[in-house]
Structures are given as structure tokens and as C-alpha cells.
Amino acid sequence: MDHLHSWLLTQVAAHAHRLVAEGMGAVGARGYHYRLLSSLIEEGPASQAALGRRTNIHLSDLVGALNELEDGGFITRNTDISDRRRNVITVTPKGRDRADELAERAKTVQDDLLGPLSQEERDILAGLLRRLLDHHAPAAAHRPGRRGDAAGS
Amino acid sequence: MDHLHSWLLTQVAAHAHRLVAEGMGAVGARGYHYRLLSSLIEEGPASQAALGRRTNIHLSDLVGALNELEDGGFITRNTDISDRRRNVITVTPKGRDRADELAERAKTVQDDLLGPLSQEERDILAGLLRRLLDHHAPAAAHRPGRRGDAAGS
DNA sequence: CGCCTAACGTTAGTGTGCCTAACGTTAGGA
DNA sequence: TCCTAACGTTAGGCACACTAACGTTAGGCG
């Protein structure tokens, strides 16, 4: 009676997805923006390829998302002089404000989503999900530990 | 340090999503098919509208999914003589076989997804997710309890 | 040096899931 | 009878993830 697991998760995910999209969409953003800005702030500037690895966002999707962020003036793209194949992505001050804004919205979304759960239960859930994620996405789960892949000289 | 909750869920969801899509896609099906056949078998025939409510699949998407299932000979569509607005959807014997096939695949996917978790932990996770789903989708969470909405005489 | 391989960024297109909007039909109450 | 509601259908859009292809740049190696 538990062949429901997989679609149960996808169902909850759908709601999470929708709530995130709504919350972010209300200020003209989307999930990718939040993920990218967070990663850039918490782990520093990076090339697009490195960013994609850190955030688990596909390279091809990154282009568009970064274009949007660049258009909004939230990030800058500078070709790495030491390796001209790379674009070094840096957050602007305006981008930091944006990140704060999105983080706040994310918090609201989260409270809404996890409403019926106590703090303890939320921690348990987070722990379980974290383990699943670590298992399926060995790279860049939370604190990467693998540095030196960024934009260094 | 736990503003990660929401995107953590979406990340895990992405993997679940991918695994399901792969598993189902390997036999020319997709998540909707499994959801629909399961619902039809477990809760009996229904009109499309009722089916949509039970499975949380949008009416407009249902049309296409049912077309696919009908083309495969897994379900039949018959207009309800007592209410000619309705199509009564029924599973064929072939559809039952298909459901078994998909259920088996779903189980494999689930085992893969939840690999690192013990049975006890899986139950805990399922419980937490179930509560979230019940909260956000009051209708048709698992055992609906709300009958009389199907295709009755 | 030239050659080859690999990484990088970019574009185009696909698939899945969820959604809105509109339309014609059928039922059923006012 | 009229009006409203539910039904099924079609067309389209959005978010996220993915594949395939292309030109550019780096760097190893003969």
C-alpha cells in the first residue's frame, strides 16, 4: 500500500513548484533567479559552468536566466582574462538587494508550504530530503566543499 | 540557515520527476498514465471531470492523456446515457495489464529514489508528505471518501 | 609549430507537468 | 423559457529539466 511514494512526492513537489512560481512571479522573478543569486552570494563569483554545477541548473538554461538577471542589473558578466572562454558572474549591490527580497519571499512560501508541520518535523523532513539529494546529486548538495572551481586566477 | 527548505524540496522533486519520466518513458508511458490507470482501478470508472478531481490532473490535460490511453486500448470512453455530457472512462483488461506493468516500474523507481532510506524513514517521509498534500489539496489525497461523484446510474 | 581534445558559452528544440481562456453541448433549476 | 452550471475539447503559455549542435578558447602532445 505504498506504491504511492513516488507520485506522492511529485504531487507535493507540484504544490511547492506552484507556490514558488507564484511567490517569485509576483515580483517578476522565478526559482532560477533565487537559486543563482543565493549561490553567488554564499559561495562567491563563478564561471557559468561552475555555477551550473553548484546550482544543478543546466548550462543551456543558465544562459537565459543570467540574461534576465543581467537585464535587471542584478549580476554582471565579465570574460575571465586568464581564460577567455569563461564569463565570471558577479553579483551587483542591486543584486544583493534582490536576493534579500527573494529570500524573504522564499521564506513566506516555505511557511505556507510547510504550514501543517512543526519545526521539529520540518527539520526531520529537511534531513530526509537532504539525504536523498546527497545520494542523487553528489555534487553541490549544500556546502560544496569543492572549491577551486570558481573564478580564481 | 534553513531558507533552503523550499528549493531543497524542488531539487529532490526534480530527481523524482526525472526518474519517473525515465521509468515510464522506457515503456512509452508517462506519469499521467500511471496515475489515471491506478485511480480507475482502485476507485472504479468515472467521468473525466471526476477523474480529474481524483487525480489532480487538469481537465485540459486529461483529454490528451486519455486519448493516448484509448489509442493504446487501455481504456474505453463511453458517453453516459443518463447524462450525455459525460464520458464514462473504463479500464480494459489490457489496461489492467498495463497498470501492473507501470506499477512495477513505479516500484523500481521508488526503490531507486528512496534508496538511502530505511523502511522506517520512508514511512516517516511518506507521512510528512501526506500531511502536506492533505493540507494543500484537500480533495482526493489518498482514499477520497467522497464517492457518488463517479459514474453512477 | 600544428593537431587534437576538452571545456566554455550559446542557440534551438523537446518533454513533462500544471495552468488559463475560450467554445459548443447538455442538464437542470428559476 | 431562460439562465446557469457542469462537461468535454482545443489552443496556448509558463517553469523546469534535458539533448544536440556549433563556434570559440585552452592546453596537452607529437
CATH of the domain at A103: 1.10.10.10
- What positions of strand C are covered by protein, i.e. any atom < 7 Å from a CB? 7-13, 15-22, 24-28
State how far the Cα of A61 lies from the Cα of A63, in Å rounded to an integer. Answer: 5
Residue B2 has pLDDT above 60, yes or no: no
Q: Three-class SS of residue B89?
A: strand
Residue A51 has pLDDT above 90, yes or no: yes
Q: Please write the tens of the pLDDT for every residue from B5-59.
A: 557 888 888 888 899 999 999 999 999 999 999 999 999 999 999 999 999 999 9
Q: Tell me how many domains chain A contains.
A: 1
Please report, rounded to whole angstroms, the spatial distance between the CA atom of protein residue B85 and the C1' atom of nucleotide D6.
Answer: 8
Q: What is the mean pLDDT of residues A87-100?
A: 95
Q: Which three cell numbers stand for residue B3?
A: 531558507
Greater model confidence, B18 or A146: B18
CA closest to A136 among chain B residues = B15
In terms of residue numbers, what domain contains A21?
5-152
Q: For residue A91, what pLDDT is reported?
A: 96
Mutation for B interface: A5, A38, A118, most B CBs within 10 A: A5
Say which residues have a Cβ less than 8 Å from residue A94's Cβ, sequence separation at least 6. A72, A73, A74
Question: Do B117 and A133 count as a contact with CB atoms less than 8 A apart?
Answer: no
pLDDT at B92: 96
pLDDT digits (tens, 9 = 90+) for B81-94: 999 999 999 999 99
Which candidate, B98, B52, B18, places its Cα nearest to that of A9? B18
When comparing pLDDT for B87 and A148, which is higher?
A: B87
- How far is Cα A38 from Cα A141, in angstroms, rounded to an integer? 13
* Dist. CA A139–CA A56, nearest whole Å: 8
- Chain A residues lying within 8 Å of B24, measured CB to CB: none
φ/ψ of A128, rounded to 5, equals -65, -45
pLDDT of residue A144: 37
pLDDT of residue B139: 54
